[in-house]
Chain A
Amino acid sequence: MNIFVLLAIIAALVAIQVVGTRFVKLNRLAWMAIWWIALYLALSFGIDPPLPTTIIALFMAIVTLALLAYLSADSEELETAKNTIVSFMTERKYMVPLLIAVVAIPLLVAFKVYSDMTQPPQPPASGRTIHPPPPASINFEGNTINLATANNPYRDLEESDPEAFAQHNANGRRIYFENCFYCHGDNMEGSGMFAHGYDPLPANFNDPTTISQLQESYLFWRIAKGAPGLPGESTPWASAMPAWENFLTEEEIWDVIIFLYEFTGYEPRAQGMPH
């Protein structure tokens, strides 16, 4: 949502409403045009990430139909609107604006054709699922790990043996700086010094929608299997995330997960809680 664009549009509508009722009588046709433009602007610029043009066209077709239905709901208003159009096209006093409209509309159409034809073509876009559902279990070096029940085996140490837990955390930190931080960054914001070379950008662990929403077993899956282990809808060929099972032991992966939560201050989502 681009809240400022939406606020500006609402403010403009209110302003027109005030001016329209106080000073100039706007007929229903003018109001329809204003609503049409306002909705078009809101759909085109008020939503982030931007909607594809085909979706906008679809919405605007619905908007047009709705506005026509609104107009024809009241036969008196319909008559007024019809008379406005007819008098614009027939009466002598509208001759000049009519001529301007007759010339301007084909020019606008020609311009649209031109801009469509000269626009630089866009590379094929692929939809992307950010947090794909994990598989039921994964194979790690011959062992099956059930992702629905697997817990970080060192998590309990936080209570029972803080010293040992701190060691796992320190080990996780070493692993992070040996392997992860060039992309995920010193502050885990996904803005490491090589992050600009990748699209999609490396995950930002400070973002409250990433690791704080996930179970530790989910992180284990993502770290162990990397991009090549993603399902098709998550564009595994686009992500540069390596499959760390080839380089890290099971314990090392659990340790680095502890470090991710300790550094960011988030708590992992408990097992058994729905996504």
Chain B
Amino acid sequence: MKRLALLTAFFVLSASTLFAQDLGTEAQRAEGKVVYDQKCAHCHGYNGDAESVATAYLRPTPRDFTSGNYKFRSTASGELPTTEDIKRSIRDGMPYTSMPAWQGILSESDITNLTYYIKSFDQMFNGPYGSPEAITINSQAYDESRLARGREVFEANQCADCHGENGRGNGESAAELMDDWGYPIRPADMTKRWTFRASATREDIYRTFTTGLNGTPMPSYQQTIEEDDRWALVDYVWSLSRDEPDYGTVVTAQGASGAIDISQGPALFENVPGTYFPIVGQLIEPGRAFYPGVNGVEVKAIYNQDDIAFLLTWNDMTAETSGSNGLTMEAPLFDPSMADSAAADTAGTYSDAVALLLPAETMAGVEKPYFMFGDSKNPMDIWYTDLATDNAGVFVGRGISNIQETEQTLERYANYDDGVWTVIFKRKRPMDGGLSFDEGTFVPITFSVWDGFNHERGNKRGLSAWYHVYLSPLETQSAAGPMLKWGLITLLVELALIGFIRWRNKKEAVAA
């Protein structure tokens, strides 16, 4: 309907004014080509068709500039982007994809020239729809009183079908979503605003569901949701996430009051501060995970004289509790098949799993084993559980080819609810031999998460680099005593000094 109207308008207008395309000059496009071939063609291909040496390793795949499909536009659904839209995508990049922000690397005129060259890949930009109009965004400030309305809009428009009841990207149809090219695509996790591809200001969120994301299952709600309701929805989405990931480097284990009974679940960790760690793909050894399913894990820890327990929580689109997983399960170096994730025929083959990895022995100074699965000189303890089972075990790793199960016991609690896995590990401390969890010390620690849906198994996994767990002393010394002591000592010294000077001054005065 919109296109028909535009077409009519075109025929009426074309007699007098030729459509105002913004294609740049020949020279600008030529300069843009130089930049493009140097910086962009590696992923987007020399012909702009996203056929490149890198395509197989990228999810989402690089934009195909010949297709007329642009996710991020300030224009109506199905239309081309404006020049400014393309420039913005180049300038700011797309967080948590391999598209970097080119601002500061390319000059503003480079970016402009590049945009004109990119437009030349698609004849549509020459045509009557070549310069669509941007929507106007009249920003509205965050208004907490609108959250209930925002939730209503969220429910009325079936946002939860894809994005999940609480926006964790775990809706019922999330696992089956495909983009227009037939690649699996995941709905945004609204509890992690920093991962939004089109960046995460309130205006960006508003624009995304106003104009939709072409080429993806995300539709435009421009016609179906009133403007004020769209802003209420922005408020609701905004309220689901903190601003920044706040990645930490140390998780502090706090003293537990009484025995640690992990059947109580996460309640055991109430009021214990958590630390959020980034998870990235294992890219080094066979089983390379170029697009891992999990991008972060929150960790809490408690301990007492006898035991130490860790709580790990992470968002996962689906719980894979059938099939199996294992530390030594074989995975190819890299499986470049496009339908690597979500292939229906292998659904249920691999289960979710999680591990916590520590040096097997307390090491001298700041040395650590190689962070993957340890090395031949420095073994690693791997606390591992396959979430399709009820068991957990401790393995010793001396590299991927040498992982042995030990007899040590590891208690485990696991639960999946509305897009969140919650796993608790509990172990004796101090351990007989091996690593000791001493009070007041820092113990190196890394984490691994397997998303069975994403065919992660064995060494194909999401992992973290080395971080620390700090065992905050069980008896914290009150600061009041030392404060009083040192304050009084200082006061006495002062008084003695003043007294001495006054006494001598008086004596001199008398002598004079």
Contact = CB atoms under 8 A, between A and B. Distances in A.
Interface of A: 85-86, 89-90, 98, 101-102, 105-107, 109-111, 113-114, 117-118, 120-121, 123-126, 173-174, 177-179, 181-183, 185-187, 189, 191-194, 196-199, 227-228, 232, 235, 237-238, 240, 242, 247, 263
A187 B280 contact: no
Contacts of B5: none
B283 A194 contact: yes
Contacts of B464: 197
Given A186-B39, A194-B281, 16 more contacts: A86-B505, A101-B494, A102-B491, A106-B491, A106-B494, A109-B487, A114-B479, A121-B470, A177-B42, A182-B57, A182-B281, A186-B99, A187-B102, A194-B280, A237-B367, A238-B465
Nearest to A235: B366
B279 interface: yes
Contacts, number: 140
Q: Which 10 A-B pairs have the closest CB atoms?
A: A197-B280, A194-B280, A177-B54, A110-B487, A126-B366, A237-B368, A242-B284, A106-B487, A110-B483, A106-B490
Contacts of B38: 263
Contacts of B366: 124-126, 235, 237
B468 interface: yes
B249 A199 contact: yes
A197 B464 CA distance: 6
Contact of B278 (A107, A187, A197, A247): A197
Given A186-B42, A186-B43, A238-B466, A86 B501 contact: yes
A240 to B, nearest CB: 6
A168 to B, nearest CB: 14
Interface stretch (B73-81, B170-178, B317-325, B369-377): B369-377
Nearest to B333: A247
B365 A126 contact: yes
Interface string B261-304: 00000000000000000111101110000100000000000000
Nearest to A115: B479
A124 to B, nearest CB: 5
B498 interface: yes
B19 interface: no
Contact of B98 (A90, A114, A192): A192
24 contacts: A89-B502, A102-B498, A106-B487, A106-B490, A106-B491, A109-B486, A110-B484, A118-B479, A123-B249, A123-B442, A174-B53, A178-B57, A181-B54, A182-B283, A183-B283, A186-B43, A186-B99, A189-B100, A192-B98, A193-B98, A194-B281, A194-B283, A242-B284, A247-B333
B57 A177 contact: yes
Contacts of A247: 333
Given A113-B486, A193-B97, A89 B498 contact: yes
Nearest to A179: B283
User: Which of A228, A235, A240 counts the most chain B CB atoms within 10 A?
Assistant: A240
Contacts of A181: 54, 98
Interface of B: 38-39, 42-43, 52-54, 57, 96-100, 102, 105, 247, 249-250, 252, 278-281, 283-285, 290, 333-334, 365-371, 375, 378, 440, 442, 464-466, 468, 470, 477, 479, 482-484, 486-488, 490-491, 494-495, 497-498, 501-502, 505
Contact of B369 (A101, A106, A187, A237): A237
A239 to B, nearest CB: 9
A39 B492 CA distance: 30
A57 B253 CA distance: 31
A52 to B, nearest CB: 15
Nearest to A236: B370
A121 B199 CA distance: 35
Nearest to A170: B53
A185 B468 contact: no
A85 B504 CA distance: 13
A198 to B, nearest CB: 5
